[in-house]
Structure 1
Amino acid sequence: MTLLSVNLNKIAVLRNSRGDAEPDIIRAAQTCIEAGCGGITVHPRPDQRHVRPDDVRALAVAVRGRVEYNIEGNPFAAPRGSYPGLIELAREVRPTQVTLVPDSDGQLTSDHGFDLERDAERLRPLVAELRTLGCRVSLFVDAGIVDFAHAVAIGAERVEIYTGPFAQAFADGDARSELARCVDTARRAQQAGLAVNAGHDLSQANLGTLRAAIPGLAEVSIGHALIGEALYDGLANTVRSYLQILS
């Protein structure tokens, strides 16, 4: 079954809006785990707009030995204040997976993947270090990529397909073209020996369509829609609904 990793960034956004400790991100993680999710995802950014370095550390303790732990972020973003940088956080907490994403402070959310040909040599030593730390490395990529030789050459083990355009097309009523791009990208990555993850704007409405179209989809990372739906149905119930779709 495709693993569901729940992204908890939105829990941190809500907490930070009041400047105190509620809602508790650790309790949220425990609720998701008890409901059956297979992973917890966080995406710390240097501006600390949501998940903070101390959250990353505390969650590592809370989830260790229970589910997979996935940390996303830009490996080229310099340390700032109490943010030590993505690679340093990985050194500290040794997550199951590190998903490298080419985002910047100016982005409201991640909205594009790496140019593998252009970025491969900059990524190579970082991928090597992360693998030395025991972390699986996934690269965030756009649907439509046809050549994964550079990703394989630098030691990446997975790619995560950016599904934002597919989700928008689905909402607009005709996702056939964008779905085909996701499917072709997944097929080419798998043929190159990479496992395939997917994420961004996935929801209960569109997840089943994507999952059915991509054989062997390893993992989906879902946060914004899942947390929004949980406002109505409860966090545990919403996690179980996603798991039912994936099964």
Structure 2
Amino acid sequence: MTALSVNVNKIAVLRNSRGGTEPDVVRAARTCLSAGAHGITVHPRPDQRHIRTADVHALSALTRECGVELNLEGNPFAPPREGYPGFLALCDAVRPAQATLVPDADGQITSDHGFDFSRDMDRLQPLVAELKAMGCRVSLFVDAGCEGLAEAARVGADRVEIFTGPFAEAAARGDAATALALCARTAREAQALGLGVNAGHDLSQDNLGDFLTAVPGVLEVSIGHALIGEALYAGLERTVEAYLAILQAPAGAAR
């Protein structure tokens, strides 16, 4: 079964909009895990607009207590600054089970593209080696249909995470076939290279079943924005349970 890692960034956005400690990011994460989620994802950014360094440490303690994985996402090239020690320094401090490397710039609202394999790999290779020496599984954020995927294996990555934003947009238009075919092709190519496959970005209850039916062997999906939005209406526990039901459904039983 594909694992569900819940991204709790949006809980921190709401907290930071008012200041103080509510809503509590750790309490929200604990609720997700109590409902059956398999792990927690966060993407601390240098501007600290949502998840902060202290949150990373607190969530690391929670996931260790609960015996589940912490997936820490971030741009390994972003320099440290006040309040943000840098992605590799954070990983060294908390030793997440998985480090997902994402090539996002400081000003981006959200991640919107994968690595350029013709440009980024030589810089990435020593960073991947450092993370693996820390005991982290390393995943690289990639575009569906990207060229040069063998470079991810060459630099030592364990997995790739397929950027599913374009698929989600196409699904919302009712025209997802081409995007799904690109995702499926990328997954098969990665697996043939010995890479595991994760997926994330704008996956929701409306499109997740179709995605998993079309794309083979996805090991983990990280879902945050849609899940937290849906939880405003249905509640966090019920929403996590609804996602788990989709993940448990037989192939071909997509909504």
TM-score normalized by the length of structure 1: 0.99
CA distance in 2, matches of 1:140, 1:87: 16
**Equivalent residue for 1:77?**
78
**Equivalent residue for 2:229?**
228
Q: Kindly indicate whether residue 49 of structure 2 is the aligned counterpart of residue 49 of structure 1.
A: yes
**Equivalent residue for 1:209?**
210
CA distance in 2, matches of 1:175, 1:21: 40
The Cα offsets for residues 205-244 of structure 1, whole Å up to 9 and x where unpaired, read as 0000001112211000000000000000000100000000
* 2:180–2:215 contact (8 Å) kept in structure 1: no
3-state secondary structure, aligned to 1:116: coil
* 2:145–2:185 contact (8 Å) kept in structure 1: yes
**Equivalent residue for 1:130?**
131
CA distance in 2, matches of 1:146, 1:48: 33
**Equivalent residue for 2:60?**
60
3-state secondary structure, aligned to 1:62: helix
* 1:146–1:185 contact (8 Å) kept in structure 2: no
The Cα offsets for residues 124-148 of structure 1, whole Å up to 9 and x where unpaired, read as 0100000000000000000012432
Shift of 1:105: 1.4
**Equivalent residue for 2:40?**
40
Which AA in structure 1 matches 2:226?
A
What is the RMSD computed on CA atoms of the aligned residues?
A: 0.7
* 1:7–1:42 contact (8 Å) kept in structure 2: yes
* 2:44–2:53 contact (8 Å) kept in structure 1: yes
Shift of 1:84: 0.1
CA distance in 1, matches of 2:182, 2:150: 18
Shift of 1:202: 0.3
Q: How many residues align?
A: 247
Shift of 1:117: 2.4
**Equivalent residues in 2 for 1:113-192, closer than 5 Å:** 113-192=114-193
3-state secondary structure, aligned to 2:23: coil
**Equivalent residue for 2:94?**
93
Which AA in structure 1 matches 2:7?
N
CA distance in 1, matches of 2:2, 2:148: 24
* 1:74–1:100 contact (8 Å) kept in structure 2: yes
Q: Which ranges of structure 2 fall in alignment gaps of 5 or more residues? A: 249-255
3-state secondary structure, aligned to 2:18: coil
* 2:142–2:160 contact (8 Å) kept in structure 1: yes
Runs ≥4 in structure 1, deviation > 4 angstroms? Answer: none
How high is the sequence identity, in percent, across the aligned residues? 67
* 2:117–2:147 contact (8 Å) kept in structure 1: no
